Amino acid sequence: MDLLLDTHVLLWWLMDDARLSDYARQLIADPGNAVFASAASAWELAIKQALGRLTIDGSLEAAVRDEGFLTLPITFTHAQETQALPPIHHDPFDRMLVAQARVEALHLLTADLRVLQYPAPLISC
């Protein structure tokens, strides 16, 4: 299965946070699953760091690479897909992740109840 991590799920994994469910941990750790981290998450986390809302030690890119995750760039197709999404969530980063999941046929792992309302391949964690 191909997985895309919502930003909070990526952070929870990297920080070994107890909020990440055992099921999500199993999916991410399964060597048979390809796990993607989006440039949208890197962008969102960079903004939060710049605003002083978050501190990440070291390079996020290096941490993602060290975990064996694949990186997913943002494309024009992804951006255009956000237009097709219903107005359930107004956060542009979450909308981009949903669009990427739809375009790339990835299962988006998320605990965000609003994101889970989208017509997309989603897995609640």
User: CA distances (Å), 122 to each of 47, 105, 110, 117, in order?
Assistant: 25, 10, 7, 9
Span 32-78, pLDDT tens digits: 999 999 999 999 999 999 999 998 888 999 999 999 999 999 999 99
CB 93 within 8 A of CB 40: yes
Q: How many Å apart are CA 30 and CA 81, to the nearest integer?
A: 29
Percent of the chain at pLDDT > 70 equals 100
pLDDT of residue 76: 98
CB 37 within 8 A of CB 10: yes
Full-model pTM: 0.96
Span 105-116, pLDDT tens digits: 999 999 999 999
In this structure, which amino acid lies at residue 1?
M
Domains of the chain: 2-124 (3.40.50.1010)
Structure tokens, 122: 């989603």
Round the average pLDDT of the chain to a whole number and report it. Answer: 96
Percent of the chain at pLDDT > 90 equals 94
